[in-house]
Amino acid sequence: MKKSLPRRSFLQAAGIAAAGTLAGSPHANARRQESADKRPRLLSGCCAYSYRAYLDLKVKKMTMEEFILKAIDLEIDGVDITTYYLTSTDPEYLHSLRHLAFRHGIPFSGTAIRTEMCQPDPAKRAEQFEGIKKWVDATESLGASHMRVFGGAIPKGATDVQAVGWTAETMKQACDYSATKGITLGIESHGGITARASNILAILKQVNHPYAGCNLDISHFDGDPYPQIEALIPYATHTHIKSMTGGPKPQELDLERIWKMFADGGYQGFMSVEYEGKEDPMTGVPKIIEQVKQLCRKYSSV
């Protein structure tokens, strides 16, 4: 098994001086210190996207209410609401979902939306910000405290430095707004400008906000995922868990190794399954959920 690089070595290899990246931000320093002082608290979860074949509004084989009840059957600690499958943003509908979850004793670990924050055009960045505001308000109505956002693709001809700047500008503005609602924004490691941990760290350094973090998807990195996961754990505010890497040549991920890294990093939060396997989710999701629950029991301090 390939040994992971220490975080400092990884950052230096990725072209970012570790001291500059991690020491330049008071919020980053606070998060690192907080992480170092924490006992791991790893909670099982599942995001609605895992059942997309059923929740898709075109097929309507499952409602969001039924997904929430499915989570009860799976005996997990929380659910992550993928907003693609909400039938409305009307507060009455969102409040009904919130009440249903409350009556069954299951929290919403967060919501997930589509964004393309990496925009060279200021007008388009403003559009992205307005869209994020709308979903922050919806997330507040649901009673969740975290929302996943995407960085998006790097525009043709743009450098990573430019793309980081555009993304960070929008995210910082969005975090200023989400903070007024007590909602943290987690930028997902998911291709484009966020395909490498070094870019995510650079974005978070520029955003420099206590309500900013990383929705750490363990499967979508360019290159070796393990040192990149390890580098981002101090900034993880939520996760998306899969058993395989993405891309044209998927490889099995060593979840035991990954859980140990989260535990060693003092992570406290949800390990939310985002199932993308070929097996029908009705049978495929429970299998990985059971593995996640076992690992959480093994590596969590509670």
Question: Would you place residue 34 in the very low, low, confident or very high pLDDT band (cuts 50, 70, 90)?
Answer: low
Closest to 234 (Cα-Cα) out of 1, 13, 22: 22
Backbone angles phi, psi at 278, to 5 degrees: -80, -25
SS3 string of 220-283?
CCCCCHHHHHHHHHHHEEEEEECCECCCCCCCECCHHHHHHHHHHCCCEEEEEECCCCCCCHHH
Residue identified by tokens 């995510």 is 200
Closest to 86 (Cα-Cα) out of 103, 50, 111: 111
Predicted confidence at residue 14, as pLDDT, reads 44
The CATH-assigned architecture of domain 7-246+253-299 is Alpha-Beta Barrel (3.20)
Question: Would you place residue 13 in the very low, low, confident or very high pLDDT band (cuts 50, 70, 90)?
Answer: very low
Question: Would you place residue 28 in the very low, low, confident or very high pLDDT band (cuts 50, 70, 90)?
Answer: low
The model's pLDDT over 182-194, given as tens digits with 9 standing for 90+, comes to: 999 999 999 999 9
178 touches 144 (CB < 8 A): no
Question: Would you place residue 6 in the very low, low, confident or very high pLDDT band (cuts 50, 70, 90)?
Answer: very low
Tell whether the model's pLDDT for residue 278 goes beyond 80.
yes
The model's pLDDT over 41-51, given as tens digits with 9 standing for 90+, comes to: 999 999 999 99
Helix-strand-coil split of the chain, %, nearest 5: 50, 15, 35
For the chain, what is the mean pLDDT?
Answer: 91
Sequence spans of domains, the chain:
7-246+253-299
Helices (H) and strands (E) in the chain, counts: 12, 8
CA distances 172 to 117, 165, 179, 187, Å, are 11, 10, 10, 11
Q: Please count the residues of the chain.
A: 302
Residue identified by tokens 């994020």 is 132
Mean pLDDT, residues 185-210: 97
Question: Would you place residue 295 in the very low, low, confident or very high pLDDT band (cuts 50, 70, 90)?
Answer: very high
Judged by DSSP in three states, 38 sits in coil
The model's pLDDT over 56-66, given as tens digits with 9 standing for 90+, comes to: 999 999 999 99
pTM of the predicted model over 0.75? yes
- Give the residue, 252 or 4, on which the prediction is more confident: 252
- The CA angle 255-215-125, to the nearest 5 degrees, is 150
Rg (CA), the chain: 18
Judged by DSSP in three states, 95 sits in helix
SS3 string of 273-301?
ECCCCCCCHHHHHHHHHHHHHHHHHHHCC
